[in-house]
Structure 1
Amino acid sequence: MTGTSDSSVATSVPTASRAATEPLRDDIRLLGGILGDIVREQAGDDVFDLVERARVESFRVRRSEIDRADLAEMFTTVDTADAIPVIRAFSHFALLANVAEDIHRERRRAIHVRAGEPPQNSSLAATYAKLDAAPVDPEIAAAALTGALVAPVITAHPTETRRRTVFETQNRIMELMRMREWVSGDRSETDDVDAQLRRQILTLWQTALIRLSRLRIQDEIEVGLRYYDASLFEVVPRINAELRDALRTRWPDSGVLADPMLRPGSWIGGDRDGNPFVTADVVARATHRASETALERHLAELEVLERELSMSARLVTVTPELDRLADASGDESAFRADEPYRRAVRGVRTRLTATAARILGHPAVHAVAGDLPDYRDPAELLADLEIIDASLRSHGDGTVADDRLAQLRNSVEVFGFHLCGLDMRQNSEVHETVVAELLAWSGVHPDYASLPEDARVALLTRELATRRPLAGPHAEFSELTTKELGILRAAADAVDRIGPAAIPNYVISMCESVSDMLEAAILLAEVGLFDPDGEAGPRCPVGIVPLFETIEDLRHGAETLTATLEVPLYRALVANRGDSQEVMLGYSDSNKDGGYLAANWALYRAELDLVRVARETGIRLRLFHGRGGTVGRGGGPSYDAILAQPPGAVEGSLRITEQGEIIAAKYAEPRRARRNLEALVSATLESTLLDVEGLGDDAAPAYAVLDELAELARVAYADLVHDTPGFVDYFEASTPVAEIGALNIGSRPASRKPTQAISDLRAIPWVLSWSQSRVMLPGWYGTGTAFEKWVGDDADRLATLTDLYERWPFFRTVLSNMAQVMSKSDMGLAARYSELVPDVALREEVFGKISAEHERTLAMYRAITGHDDLLWDNPSLDRSVHNRFPYLEPLNHLQVELLRRYRSGDDSDNVRRGIQLTMNGLATALRNSG
């Protein structure tokens, strides 16, 4: 592989920007050239020639010099064994292109900084400038940021199939590319770096990209934890400290951000909605490993700190508090008799060692011997660290205190003994079944499921007012109820051992009613987490979080929340949680249910309604956004998405899911992690403290327009997805959705239930399948029809949409995200996948609708925005599309061919592995595939 040819990019990249992108093109040539040499050396000339022929012909297709069918014909007779290294070559190129693009973004950013240009949007520096220009009243800021929280929640995802070895090798290649920039003026050093690059790419080539067996939840837990060592331990505490300092410098008497604002979370091991592999043991393992990761990190840092703080009492005068801490350490070594800091830190290490032994049930790797009491909570550990800090500053060692000790204090503040809160999630239908069985066994009611809603609420409220459990010690239940109670007991045990931060939330999927909320409370009460009679009334350390997912549930979400808050017992519970109530919004299922535009508007409307309820009831609302990586699952640039929220929807708090290959793209190493976390925090601050909606008094008319557009889009989407006979058959035949479930991708089943219904299919395989087939349907379908029907021949209506696009961040973001996903669609390749559908009439009907809507949507986008180029506002993605998309072409054609063979009865290991590899390669190249 020789990298990108000049002619491939010249079709759309202006001459002025070609000079700026030349270093990127050089990097791609370099990496592609090394990869090509290795393919020739390792796989032989025949494979290399096939790879090169596929590459050249792909560019010819791009330039319309040959028909796509001619390229596809290349692969129809290729032996599967020969196809595997071709797939691997193009997959590795996609991975190396990702490295080159990330390096180029760093390069361009550095050029902007050196040129003295204003800081870029989505950086904290830019946000501070906006706050200074506003300016913001300190009291208003302090009130708005009370309880401030930005929580990226790491979530398992089947398209993140990269092994740790591949992950680490990719990071080493990135570091070498950075080093190559630094030594670019020295030929001998450049040659040395190139030799190291060759070794790493050779290692990559000889390392299997995919696992031999299905990923287990235990593996997903470890994958999620690796990002802490990779970047989060370094970056999160630092951002929190800098943010607090910056805001308190601006508002010195406000006391703003008493607690860290940025606090990661996790769903891996606690989300059991439709996942039968989540068990009590899995919950225990997830919380145990998270706690172990945090405690080992703290102990390792303390070990280094003890070596660093060598100050002698003969040379400095420490505070009395530090002296007492040192004397209480039990350290009687004569060598450290005049080193009070080392003795003090040794005492802290000893106590934390005891803490780890209590929580984990085994000695820590960085344990030290001693006989001191453990820390009951992180606050006690912080108090000791603050004594050390104050003493250092008392004799002029503030610069020392601001280094490792400060980072450790900030780390303990945010990660505590738990690392990240593990959310629990289950479907409301399961709750109903389990609660009904508990009530029947205890003699409270023989048939709870038959009761109307009012009677259910009355019964559940009475039960919640008592402390008696429904199940006795010898009760025998169904397998489902036994399993659910076991999982909840494991969660309660984690709270007891690690602290309440270990399990912060209980999310109720498909929440539709007050009884759905109260059933979750009953189950929490059953394991002792809900206490109806605390000192100030009912208390529960675990927040009960409704998840509104479908279009209908989103429409009625505010009504459900209002009715729940009207239950006195529940309102008292919320009061005892600081009058705070979290609500989760489901982007994926609402999109699958109603289509792209209808779902986006339903979410916006739901947020407006929930904000109104919060103001009317006096609660503090925190929204949890269940966004996926791709636009079809609520993806797109996080900064823009947060600024596009309605007024009052952020209010200093934001939780957001981060999934799969998106996690690697954002958090694989510190620089990218810093950039992406800054974007989340910056957007949260701006949405909270500044007026970003931009509609003013024109909000109501704008909302009315979107009401009409959303309904038109929903009808158009339903006509295809829900109302076209045979659509499910078309979907299953024209995409690799069936193979996603069959080929050991991810730890969970593709569907919640064993049915063919779209409603039961998980959103991830739904979106992933359309991405692989290059249709990208969830990110745009129905929108073109809605715009076209609403506008008609009325120029004023078109002008209205153009005005909204220019003034309203929500509408602009919706169209921008749609354009981004459409830039990755390819109806020519999609047509190849449609040929897998055996029913010709069905194929022509469904693909005809899809391709016509695609053209319609493109035309309306251009008419509204005035831009022919879909990526006019995203030059980095524009570069990516033109640099790498010809390299995706062979992967798509090979996937179609291998699917054809697999479905014709060839289920050999090579065919199965080839399909998996094409999925991996396309997911890597598209970067936000599912």
Structure 2
Amino acid sequence: MSAINLDVTPAKDLPLRDDIRLLGRILGDTIREQEGAAVFEIVERIRQTSIRFHRDEDHAARQELETTLNSLSRGRTNQIIRAYSYFSHLANIAEDQHHVRRSRAHAMAGAHAMAAAAPREGTMARALKLARETGVKQADLQAFFASALVCPVLTAHPTEVRRKSTIDREMEVSQILSLRDRQHLTPDEEATTEESLRRAVLTLWQTSILRRNRLKVIDEVVNGLSYYDYTFFQQLPRFYASLEDQLADMDPVWGTLELPSFLRMGSWIGGDRDGNPFVTADVLRQALRLQSRHVLGFYLEEIHCLGSELSLNGRYVSISEQVQALASTSPDLSPHRQDEPYRRAISGIYARLAATAAALGHGEVARHAVGEAPAYASVEELSGDLAVLHRSLMSNGSASLSRGRLRKLRRAVDVFGFHLASIDLRQNSDVHERVVAELFEKANPGTGYDTLPEDGRVALLLEELRSPRPLTSAYLDYSPETASELAIVHEAAESHRRYGRIAVPNYVISKASDPSDILEVALLLKEAGLLRPRDGEMNVNIIPLFETIADLRNCSRVMDQLFGLPDYMRLLRSRGQAQEVMLGYSDSNKDGGFLTSGWELYKAEIELIEVFKRHGVSLRLFHGRGGSVGRGGGPSYQAILAQPGGAVQGAIRVTEQGEVIAGKYSNAELGRRNLEILAAATLEASLLHSGQSAPREEYLEAMEELSNSAYRAYRDLVYETDGFERYFWESTVIGEIANLNIGSRPASRTNSRRIEDLRAIPWVFGWAQCRLMLPGWYGFGSAVNAYIKAHPETGIALLREMYRAWPFFEALLSNMDMVLAKSNIAIASRYARLVEDQDLRDAIFPRIRREWEDSIRQLLTITEQQSLLDRNPLLARSIRNRFPYLDPLNHLQIELLKRHRAGDRDEQVVEGIHLSINGIAAGLRNSG
């Protein structure tokens, strides 16, 4: 099995072509050795026929391909699916490695050139260069870093289709490719590395891609911890060290300063209860314990290594009194280290940290301490001891020693604490309403909270919030739902006592639509002591999530009313007069379509900026973006810079979801690059673009017209066409996705099949699998057609100007460009034939096809491209080169779906469907 090349490859991309060919050849050899020559020959015949069809549009080849695929036995079918799935995975690895290669080539070209090459877009070097060139003062930069917060939040969602076992082997392949790329190998070394590649690929082939059992939440927590080993433990400290060094090179004053840890990690895994009945107080407790054990294990290993390195003898170097004090209180009494105070001090630090691990319930550590020592009461005590070592080394001329492992460890402790990542709580406002209604009714029968109008609810909630007494009673029985919700907030309070307030700092409210939704959570927090009305203190940020079109249009009113409540503003002062708001990309898209979702999000931000400014409150936005464009995905750098001026006020949080987590963070260097992009974009948006002027009025008016037309077209299809719900379930793999063991969360919030109740993730994932990508473009063609019809003289010219001059519109169309390039209407038409009712099929699919054609035509007209992705040739080649490997998977998936839906319950049929879902997702990459 080898790679294809449908067009001429530029010289800079030849290494990518060579890597893909090498991996394809090794995979082919593995298939031949493991499954026999007959299977290999079928794989090759399918590959060559599919290439012939795509290259020459040879329809005889298409017929030949279908005949071959239809003739496969069940066992052969699954072997072919596995072959093409693994090729997609291996091609992804090669592409990721090529991104690293090109970044290194750019850095080396700049280092060796007479005049250094300009820093690349999305790097801190470029952001700092732009800041210097535009006159940003050092004081302003310091103020930014002092108050900034950049936080990627990892979430577990049912689109992650890779197991850790396969990711580990794929990382091994990536590391071997990197070694081959960076070293000149002898023939023997070349043979050795290829043999290592063959072992890794063989292991992959013999490892199941699928899980036999559905994941539990704790399994998702453990999977999430893997990315700290892969990337975050090493790369976050490296990021800070590099940034501090760049600042010092820019101005020596920075050399004496240590940056605050403004880039931190967040998580929803173990705290997100919205629609997931398996997230409980016990699960939250376990998640926090696992996180803490993981990070303390990392510290203990690093401190052990540090002790091996710092063998400095007190007879040769000066030792600070503070280090001497640490050494004197250390349980390390070995005469062999009598003259090595750093080692004795580090042994004491290790012993205290081991005691801390035991105190937090983590059991015995792998490597025992030399003796007993008191546990650390807080992470600040550990940081203080490490700072003592740092100051002593700096003062005795050993700065280079402090800049090694110790520097990275000190930063890691500051970033990760004893908690590793902050876990957000999340729950739906409907649940809060039921719980609060029950609490009031139990305390005072006849209150009828759930029947009160909004102003009545607010008045009652405020009255209760002013009271220092609890509303709950240990002598009353509550429903299981209420008991569970109370247990969660009490567990959050306990986590603050064990790990510090940063362990659980946020509470997100899904489906927020009124001020009472926020106050209900405030009441629940008060019951756990996380909010103290007499002191005016709140230990947790309460974050409303506005996620439907109606919610986005309403959010500024909600926040204006909330800020008009003196009681709430008093509490907000304890949070630094800062309020976070979360905006939902996924559900707003499912509700109103791609164009309208993007526009309503943009308008909501503008309105929120005005409301917050008027009330003197700092705005922090939390962007609930998914991996696919239909769920707010796309390049993070462009997305952040496309925000309206003032939306990024030095702080931003962004969800990282599903298979995107593995795509971004399983490769260490790519992971660091993605973290740096978030930080660089936040700096640029905050300091360079915050005061940028609003778009021209003509742009806003045009966008409003486009959005209205797109909304009507989308709603008319999805929510107002009879039978569309049935069409969706029958023409996609949504039913099969719901049963795939790839996440703990159900696919729908309820047991219904209504689109309204379906989660946005499987909604988008289902359309991606059938290669239609409908959530990423539907309605655009109709919108542009209507706009040009209404403005025949100026319409296209203005839209082209908007694309060139307005980052928001440019990002919107660029993301749509990519989605449409990944779609394939011919394959989508074959999925449409899965719909049993021909009249329903004939009523809906031709509408979708026309909209798809109109959307591509109008996109090309506005962007002035000859074909999709003209401006991104590398991505265009990648997508085109993948099609011959994706098409057979789609064909086989369709045939398996037919058998399964006809009543064939053979285990191989079910396994084949699930394997095909995995392979197609891998080939498309950002599909969920």
Alignment match, 2:73: 79
Q: Distance in 1 between matches of 2:351 and 2:629?
A: 49
Does structure 2 conserve the Cα–Cα contact (< 8 Å) formed by 1:375 and 1:381? Answer: yes
Moved more, 478-487 or 712-721: 478-487
Deviation, 1:686, is 0.7
Alignment match, 1:921: 919
Does structure 2 conserve the Cα–Cα contact (< 8 Å) formed by 1:349 and 1:367? Answer: no
Q: Which of the numbers 74, 86, 109 marks the counterpart of 2:103?
A: 109
SS of aligned partner of 1:22: helix
Q: Distance in 2 between matches of 1:443 and 1:364?
A: 51
Deviation, 1:120, is 1.5
Q: Aligned letter for 1:110?
A: R
| Structure 1 residues 48 and 156: alpha-carbon distance in aligned structure 2, compared to 1, 3 A threshold | same
Alignment match, 1:223: 223
Q: How does 1:271-282 map to 2 (within 5 A)?
A: 271-282=272-283
Does structure 1 conserve the Cα–Cα contact (< 8 Å) formed by 2:644 and 2:694? Answer: no
Q: Distance in 2 between matches of 1:184 and 1:65?
A: 43
| Structure 1 residues 825 and 301: alpha-carbon distance in aligned structure 2, compared to 1, 3 A threshold | same
Q: Aligned letter for 2:172?
A: R
Q: How does 1:439-450 map to 2 (within 5 A)?
A: 439-443=440-444, 446-450=447-451
Moved more, 118-127 or 685-694: 685-694
The alignment status of 1:32 with 2:27, answered yes or no, reads: no
The alignment status of 1:64 with 2:93, answered yes or no, reads: no
Moved more, 657-666 or 255-264: 255-264
| Structure 1 residues 301 and 429: alpha-carbon distance in aligned structure 2, compared to 1, 3 A threshold | same
| Structure 1 residues 460 and 813: alpha-carbon distance in aligned structure 2, compared to 1, 3 A threshold | same
Alignment match, 2:597: 599
SS of aligned partner of 2:742: coil
Q: TM-score, normalised by structure 2?
A: 0.96
Q: Distance in 2 between matches of 1:358 and 1:181?
A: 46
Alignment match, 1:350: 351
The alignment status of 1:590 with 2:588, answered yes or no, reads: yes
Q: How does 1:379-528 map to 2 (within 5 A)?
A: 379-443=380-444, 446-528=447-529
Listed one character per residue, the Cα deviations across residues 903-924 of structure 1 (whole Å, up to 9, x for unaligned) are 1111221111111111111111
| Structure 1 residues 256 and 316: alpha-carbon distance in aligned structure 2, compared to 1, 3 A threshold | closer
Does structure 1 conserve the Cα–Cα contact (< 8 Å) formed by 2:899 and 2:909? Answer: yes
The alignment status of 1:541 with 2:542, answered yes or no, reads: no
| Structure 1 residues 699 and 146: alpha-carbon distance in aligned structure 2, compared to 1, 3 A threshold | farther
Q: Distance in 2 between matches of 1:595 and 1:69?
A: 36
Does structure 1 conserve the Cα–Cα contact (< 8 Å) formed by 2:725 and 2:753? Answer: yes
Q: Distance in 1 between matches of 2:428 and 2:33?
A: 53
Q: Aligned letter for 1:57?
A: T
Does structure 2 conserve the Cα–Cα contact (< 8 Å) formed by 1:299 and 1:367? Answer: no
SS of aligned partner of 1:224: helix
Deviation, 1:357, is 1.9
Structure 1 gaps of 5+ residues are none
Q: Distance in 2 between matches of 1:424 and 1:723?
A: 35
SS of aligned partner of 1:115: helix
The alignment status of 1:903 with 2:904, answered yes or no, reads: no
Moved more, 188-197 or 65-74: 65-74
Q: Aligned letter for 1:580?
A: A
Moved more, 244-253 or 396-405: 244-253
Q: Distance in 1 between matches of 2:195 and 2:249?
A: 48
Q: How does 1:192-271 map to 2 (within 5 A)?
A: 192-247=192-247, 250=250, 259-271=260-272
| Structure 1 residues 438 and 821: alpha-carbon distance in aligned structure 2, compared to 1, 3 A threshold | same
Does structure 2 conserve the Cα–Cα contact (< 8 Å) formed by 1:314 and 1:338? Answer: yes
Alignment match, 1:688: 686
SS of aligned partner of 1:152: strand
Q: How does 1:640-719 map to 2 (within 5 A)?
A: 640-691=638-689, 696=693, 698-719=695-716
Does structure 1 conserve the Cα–Cα contact (< 8 Å) formed by 2:149 and 2:264? Answer: yes
Moved more, 101-110 or 165-174: 101-110
Q: Aligned letter for 2:478?
A: F
Does structure 1 conserve the Cα–Cα contact (< 8 Å) formed by 2:307 and 2:346? Answer: yes
Alignment match, 2:780: 783
Alignment match, 2:165: 165
Alignment match, 2:771: 774
Q: Aligned letter for 1:729?
A: R
Does structure 1 conserve the Cα–Cα contact (< 8 Å) formed by 2:271 and 2:423? Answer: yes
Alignment match, 1:48: 40
Tell me the matched-pair count. 918
Listed one character per residue, the Cα deviations across residues 272-316 of structure 1 (whole Å, up to 9, x for unaligned) are 100111112211111111111111111111111112111111111
Q: Aligned letter for 1:543?
A: N
| Structure 1 residues 146 and 323: alpha-carbon distance in aligned structure 2, compared to 1, 3 A threshold | closer
Alignment match, 2:92: 98
Listed one character per residue, the Cα deviations across residues 630-668 of structure 1 (whole Å, up to 9, x for unaligned) are 000000011111111110111111100011211111111
Listed one character per residue, the Cα deviations across residues 526-555 of structure 1 (whole Å, up to 9, x for unaligned) are 122111122xxx212211000000011011
Q: Aligned letter for 1:706?
A: M
Deviation, 1:143, is 4.0
Q: Distance in 2 between matches of 1:419 and 1:366?
A: 21
Listed one character per residue, the Cα deviations across residues 597-655 of structure 1 (whole Å, up to 9, x for unaligned) are 00001111111111111111111111000000000000001111111111011111110
Deviation, 1:370, is 3.6
SS of aligned partner of 1:338: coil
Q: Which of the numbers 723, 738, 750 marks the counterpart of 2:747?
A: 750
The alignment status of 1:23 with 2:15, answered yes or no, reads: yes
Deviation, 1:244, is 4.2
SS of aligned partner of 2:468: coil
Does structure 1 conserve the Cα–Cα contact (< 8 Å) formed by 2:225 and 2:291? Answer: yes
Does structure 2 conserve the Cα–Cα contact (< 8 Å) formed by 1:247 and 1:256? Answer: no
Q: Alignment RMSD, CA only?
A: 1.8
| Structure 1 residues 50 and 361: alpha-carbon distance in aligned structure 2, compared to 1, 3 A threshold | closer
Q: How does 1:779-818 map to 2 (within 5 A)?
A: 779-792=776-789, 794-818=792-816
Alignment match, 2:838: 840
| Structure 1 residues 217 and 326: alpha-carbon distance in aligned structure 2, compared to 1, 3 A threshold | same
Deviation, 1:38, is 1.2
Listed one character per residue, the Cα deviations across residues 451-498 of structure 1 (whole Å, up to 9, x for unaligned) are 110110011111111222222123211121122222222222212211
SS of aligned partner of 1:210: coil
Does structure 2 conserve the Cα–Cα contact (< 8 Å) formed by 1:145 and 1:257? Answer: no
Q: How does 1:574-585 map to 2 (within 5 A)?
A: 574-585=572-583
| Structure 1 residues 693 and 799: alpha-carbon distance in aligned structure 2, compared to 1, 3 A threshold | farther
Does structure 1 conserve the Cα–Cα contact (< 8 Å) formed by 2:580 and 2:621? Answer: yes
Deviation, 1:791, is 1.6
Q: Distance in 1 between matches of 2:267 and 2:20?
A: 35
Q: Distance in 2 between matches of 1:820 and 1:386?
A: 48
| Structure 1 residues 619 and 21: alpha-carbon distance in aligned structure 2, compared to 1, 3 A threshold | same
